Amino acid sequence: LSHEMTIRVKAAYDLLAEYCMNHTFSFRVEDLAKDLEQSPADYWTERFGDDPIWG
């Protein structure tokens, strides 16, 4: 990798690591059941929208 690409990869890693460290994940049965009430397509659309980037 070039120096510039290494900097970009590290910045992306830092952003992802920060998100993961600060995002709350719930494994409570009630929360998991709530998420399963939706169809997978509705679940995806609610969280990520219908941006054409997803195909």
- Tens of pLDDT, residue by residue over 7-55, are 999 999 999 999 989 988 888 888 888 877 878 788 788 888 877 776 6
User: Is residue 45, in this structure, part of any structural domain at all?
Assistant: yes
User: Is residue 29, in this structure, part of any structural domain at all?
Assistant: yes
Confidence at residue 55, expressed as pLDDT on a 0 to 100 scale = 65
User: Is residue 13, in this structure, part of any structural domain at all?
Assistant: no
CA dist 16 and 19 (Å) reads 5
User: Is residue 15, in this structure, part of any structural domain at all?
Assistant: no
Q: Per the structure block, which two tokens stand in for 29?
A: 């049965």
User: Is residue 19, in this structure, part of any structural domain at all?
Assistant: no
User: Is residue 11, in this structure, part of any structural domain at all?
Assistant: no
Q: Structural domain tally of the chain?
A: 1
User: Is residue 34, in this structure, part of any structural domain at all?
Assistant: yes
| Domain that includes residue 46, residue range | 24-50
Q: Per the structure block, which two tokens stand in for 11?
A: 């910045």
User: Is residue 12, in this structure, part of any structural domain at all?
Assistant: no
